Structure 1
Amino acid sequence: MKKIVPLIILITGFTFYSASAQKSKTQDQNAIKNMCGCFEVTFNFAETFNYVNDSTYVPSEVKHDKGLEWVQLVEDSDKKIVLQHLLIVGNPSSPHIVKHWRQDWEYENTDLYVYNGDNNWIYKSLPKSDVKGQWSQKVFQVDDSPRYEGSSSWVHVDGKSYWENTTTAPLPRREYTKRSDYNITLRRNRQEITNTGWIHDQDNDKLLRVAGKEDVVIAQEKGFNTYTKVDDSKCAAAQDYWKKTSAKWALVRTKWDEVFSRNKDLNLEEKVDNKQLYKYLFSDTEYQNKADIDTVIESFVKQ
C-alpha cells in the first residue's frame, strides 16, 4: 500500500492541475470573446513627458476622439480566436464602414514577429515552456499586414480579467505622417474586461532606434480607450458590410498566413507604384479574387 499512495497523490494532483488549467483557459476564452459586439468607443492620447534637450521640440497634440465600432467574431476555435474591428463613421442614416484593426488570440503560440523599425519584423520562435498557459495577441493593420505581437497570461483575480504585455510596434497612424524623430513605439498594453465593456490602457515610449546604438526614448505617452457596450442593432451597417466582404478578407488573411508561415524575418515595402497596400485592397471592384490578392500582397514583401 505504501507504494500506491504516492501514485494516487500524483494522479490526483495532475487531475486537479488539468481541471484548473482548463477552467483558466475557459475564463481566458470568455474574456477575449467579451470584446465582441457593438461599442461606443473613446480614444484618448496625451504625450506625458519628453526627454529632448531642445527648446524647439513640439509635443504631439492631445487627442480626444470617439466613434461607434463593431467587433466581429471571425474565428472561434479551441486555440485561436479572431476579432475584426469595423469602425462606423459619417451620417448615421448612411454610414461609411472602415475596416479597422484586427486582433488574433492564439493559445500557447510559439511563433511571433517582433517589430524592429523601418517596416521590418524579426521572426522569433519561443520555447514552449515560455508560453505555457499564455495567449499571444497579434494585432494587424487595416490591410491585415502585421503591426505588433506579444504573449502573456490572462489574469483573473478579485473580479477582474485583464491581459498585459509590452512589445514594439510601428508608429500609430495619428503620428507617422507627422513625426520623424522616432521610429518605434514601445507599447505597454493592458486590455481589461469591465461590467460595461472593456478598456484598452496604454503607457507607451516613443523610441529612436539606430542600428548599433542603444534605443533613445524621445518621449512617453498615455493612451486610454474605452469600449462601452451598446445594443448590437446600432452596428447593423457594419454587420451588413462584413456579410458582403468577409469572403474577400478571408482570402487576404489566408495569403498573409502563408507569408507568415515562412518563419523568417519580414521586410515590407511602404508603397508599390506610389500606392499603399490598403489602397489596393480597399477597392470595391478590384482585388476580389485569390490570384489578384496574392499578387498584390506579394509585391509588398521584399525578397
Structure 2
Amino acid sequence: MRILLLLMFCLTLGTVQAQKKKKQDVEAIKAMCGCYDVSFNFAETFATDKDYEFHDNYRSGALEYVFPVEESKDKIVLQHLLVIGDSMIIKHWRQDWLYENTDLHVFHKDNTWKYKSKAQDAVKGQWTQKVYQVDDGPRYQGSSSWVHVDGKSYWENTADAPLPRREFSKRSDYNVMVRRNRQEITDYGWVHEQDNDKVLRESSDKVLAHEKGWNTYTKTDEKKCQLAKDWWQEKQAYWNDVRKVWDELFATKKTLEFEKKIDGKVLFMKLFALEKEMLKGNYDSAASITKIKATINPYLKGEVALVIN
C-alpha cells in the first residue's frame, strides 16, 4: 500500500512539474512578441579549405513586429512583419511552436523537404520550432526542450535549411545551411544566435565554411509598429487561407519537392501578387483557397498535388 501511495505521489508530482515547466516554456515563446529594433549580423569565421575566399560580413537592421496569429493548448504561431519607413510592410518569416510534436518536414537539399516521424518518447517535454518562408512555405524545423536555468530561458537546436535569403540569389557553391540556432530571452527582448555550416551536399556533405550569426531583437515603442498592426488587419484573411492550403500539403506526410521558378518567377512573388488580387473587393475565402492551390500546384514536383474542388 505504501509503495502504491508513493508511486501515485511521484506521478502527481511529475505531472505538476511538467505543467509548471510547460507554462514557463509558453511564457518564453510569447515573450518574443512585440515591436523590435532588430540588428542582423553574420560573419564567416573559418573554412576547411585554405584557398577558400571568405565573403564579406553581412550587417543590416529593421523595425519588426512579432505577434501571435494562432494559439491553442499545444501550439503557438508567431508572425513577423517588417516595417519599412512610414508606408511599407513586408511579410517576413513565421515560426510555429508545437508541443511534443512528432511530425516534421526536414530540409534535404535543392528545394526538397522530406517527411520525418519522431517517436513520442523522443519529443517528451519538447517544442518543435517550424520556421516558414515569407510565402508560408517550409524552411527548417527541429525539436528541442526549452531550458530555464540560472535566470536564463533559451531553446537550442540544429536543423538543415536552404540558403538564407541574403545569399540564395548570390551563391551556388553550397546548397545546405546546417543551422545551430539558439533563441534566448533577454532583459531587452531576445537574441537569435547562430553557428552555421555552409555545406555542399551531393553524395556526401562537404563543409565549405563556418558562419557566426548574432541577431538582436530590442524592444521599442509599440506605437512604431501600428502600421504593421493595421496592415495585418487588412491582410490576415488571405494569409490565414494560405496557411490552410500549406497545411493540406504537410498533412500528406510525404516528401515535398518544388520547382525553383515557374515563368521566371519564384512562388512567393505569385502568392504576393494573388494577395492583391483577392483583397480588391469583398473577400471570398473559398475562391481564394481555389486560386492559392492553383498557384502552388505548378511548383510541386513528384506525386504530391493539391486537390482543387
TM category (shorter chain) comes to over 0.9
Distance 1:244 1:271 in 2: 28
Structure 1 counterpart of 2:54, one-letter code? P
The 5-angstrom pairing of residues 52-201 of structure 1 reads 52-54=49-51, 57-89=52-84, 91=85, 94-201=86-193
Structure 1 counterpart of 2:149, one-letter code? V
The 8 Å contact of residues 287 and 293 in structure 1, kept in 2 or not, is answered as no
- 1:278 paired residue number: 268
Q: Which moved more, 1:291-300 or 1:30-39?
A: 291-300
- 2:9 paired residue number: 12
Q: 1:205 to 1:19 in 2, by over 3 A?
A: same
- Distance apart, 1:275 and its partner CA: 1.0
The 8 Å contact of residues 280 and 287 in structure 1, kept in 2 or not, is answered as no
- Aligned to 2:276, the other structure's residue is in SS state coil
- Runs of 5+ in structure 1 lacking a partner? none
- 1:24 paired residue number: 21
Distance 1:231 1:18 in 2: 39
Give aligned-pair identity as a percent.
55
Distance 1:174 1:132 in 2: 35
Residue from 262, 267, 274 that aligns with 2:257: 267
- Aligned to 1:264, the other structure's residue is in SS state coil
Structure 1 counterpart of 2:296, one-letter code? I
- Distance apart, 1:53 and its partner CA: 4.1
- Distance apart, 1:129 and its partner CA: 0.5
The 5-angstrom pairing of residues 282-293 of structure 1 reads 282-283=272-273, 284-287=275-278, 289-293=288-292
Distance 2:214 2:158 in 1: 16
- 1:239 paired residue number: 229
- Distance apart, 1:287 and its partner CA: 4.9
Distance 1:271 1:186 in 2: 24
- Distance apart, 1:152 and its partner CA: 0.2
- Aligned to 2:300, the other structure's residue is in SS state coil
Distance 2:278 2:142 in 1: 31
Distance 1:113 1:285 in 2: 29
Q: Which moved more, 1:256-265 or 1:269-278?
A: 269-278
- Distance apart, 1:232 and its partner CA: 1.3
Count residues in correspondence: 293
Structure 2 counterpart of 1:72, one-letter code? F
Distance 2:253 2:165 in 1: 27
Once the two structures are superposed, residues 68-121 of structure 1 have per-residue CA deviations (whole angstroms, 9 ceiling, x without a partner) of 0000211111100000000011x3xx3310000000000000001111110011
- Aligned to 2:228, the other structure's residue is in SS state helix
Once the two structures are superposed, residues 233-252 of structure 1 have per-residue CA deviations (whole angstroms, 9 ceiling, x without a partner) of 11000011100000000000
Distance 1:138 1:287 in 2: 27
Once the two structures are superposed, residues 236-270 of structure 1 have per-residue CA deviations (whole angstroms, 9 ceiling, x without a partner) of 00011100000000000000000000001110111
Structure 1 counterpart of 2:66, one-letter code? V
Distance 2:146 2:66 in 1: 20
- 1:207 paired residue number: 199
- Runs of 5+ in structure 2 lacking a partner? 280-287, 303-309
Distance 2:278 2:138 in 1: 19
- 2:293 paired residue number: 294
The 8 Å contact of residues 281 and 287 in structure 1, kept in 2 or not, is answered as no
Structure 1 counterpart of 2:3, one-letter code? P
Distance 1:80 1:88 in 2: 26
